Chain A
Amino acid sequence: MRTPFGSWIRAVAAGAVVGLASHAGAGGARIVEITARRFEFTPSEVVLKRGETATLRLRSLDVVHGFFQKALGIDLEIEPGRVAEVTLTPQVPGRYLTICDHFCGSGHGNMKLSIVVE
């Protein structure tokens, strides 16, 4: 799907569990590993280059979380024990606040991650 910002988005869920890191994938795109747990994402900030294709790969360590950033076309559901990922090529520099939009408890409103596009 083509987003308003020209990013290519692909969201999948798979049964694998991956380690934490930022590394190159098989196709050369950078893969950024992100963990979600009440009430934080780790890391809390991801820096991407404008025009860079990257895959954000997320897993939950406790309950179901969301991962939502409307302008970048990101909309994931992160279920415990499964991996959710999105591939994007952001075109517009800026700081994009990305939130958990699946209510997960009293600190839910503070569960966020910044995607910085340089």
Chain B
Amino acid sequence: MGRPIDRRTFLRIAGTSLGAGALYRVAPAWASGGPAGDTARELKRRNGEAPTPFTFVQLSDAHVGFSGPPNPTGTRAFERAVEVLNRLPERPDLVVFTGDLTHESEAPGEHAARMKRFAEIAGRIAVPMKKMLPGEHDAGLDGGALFRSFFGETSYSFDHRGVHFVALDNVSRAKPEVGPAQLAWLKKDLARFTPTAPIVVLTHRPLFDLKPEWEWFTRDGDEVMAALAAFENVTVLYGHIHREDMHQTAHARHYAARSLIWAFPDPAAAEKKPIAFDKDRPFRNLGLRLVHAAPGATPAASVGCEEVELTMREHSGTEGFAQMLRPSSLGPAVEKGERP
């Protein structure tokens, strides 16, 4: 029998926000030898494929079609994000978009036009694979029909370099819920994996009660997490709350991405009101996170995050931007320098 898997040595995720989404690096250290290499080989034996180094990006909540006081610049931040991504020194394998691609419209043809506009901008992203899932603004009024006509199914799974990705739709039923049919599908989907398999769940709303009175929850999120309880290495990436957040549950870490349109306040705030637009820093609080995964000494030490927030010297065009590196606000789990 091979060396037992120690969950403490498995998944390290470090994040960096880039002002436009989230970039993830999965297990880059496992290509080396030593204990990390042993872990990779054991995972390959158990799971069929060992995670190998790769990066991916999470974008969320572009709300294409929205223009109003919280952000009168429309798609500017989204378009800027695409520019940033296309200039990354290391091309990501994958971009995932965790919902609210568009802002709904009930004017005839308008929502479809917004979907088309989103697809045009996303089409500029130069990566081999893009995966979309809906938010309630994409799919809450029509059960996801329009979304499916552009991007395919609203829930699905796929494997990439030893990591199993599951996209869960918690918006198309109009209520914040996954629903019994999708829960049954999830359990069936996960059945072929061993407990050590690295699993990344993509969804729009948080799968825990972050703030139910702001609709920051999923009604059957506990059932989803129960279905994932047997797995030791679960990462949930979601959007919806328009701000970065990290939450640890017994066996999973939940990361929220910034939006590309406006930011909401901390859930401790009295009122859910978008943070006011700042014409001098129009992309303030809009973000992209780089996350790197690798064997870590302990789960608590396994997260290292830093942000690069876009700034803008002039409020015109895409000129005049600069990037400002600053510490992440993701809380005590953050350990700078842990990133491989």
- On A, residues with C-beta under 8 Å from B are 64, 66, 68-70, 96-99, 101-103, 105-106, 108-109
Contacts and interface: CB of A to CB of B under 8 A. Distances in A.
Nearest to A66: B175
Given A64-B174, A70-B209, A105 B141 contact: yes
Contacts of B174: 64, 102-103
Contacts of A64: 174
Given A103-B140, A103-B171, A97 B213 contact: yes
Contacts of A99: 213-215
Interface in B302-333: none
5 contacts: A70-B212, A103-B175, A105-B141, A106-B103, A106-B104
A68 B212 contact: yes
A101 B175 contact: yes
Interface class of chain B by DSSP: loop
B281 interface: no
B175 A69 contact: no
Residue picked from B175, B214, B217, most chain A C-beta under 10 Å: B175
B136 A69 contact: no
B176 A101 contact: yes
Contacts, number: 38
B120 interface: no
B161 to A, nearest CB: 35
Contacts of A109: 215, 272
A37 B103 CA distance: 20
Interface residues of B, number: 20
Contacts of A70: 209, 212-213, 217
Contacts of B209: 70
B43 to A, nearest CB: 39
B175 A102 contact: yes
A68 B214 CA distance: 10
Nearest to B212: A70
Contacts of B176: 101
Given A70-B217, A101-B215, 5 more contacts: A69-B213, A99-B214, A103-B175, A106-B104, A109-B215
B90 interface: no
Contacts of B278: none
Contacts of B140: 103, 108
A67 to B, nearest CB: 12
Interface in B106-130: 106
A87 to B, nearest CB: 21
Residue picked from B137, B174, B176, B212, most chain A C-beta under 10 Å: B174
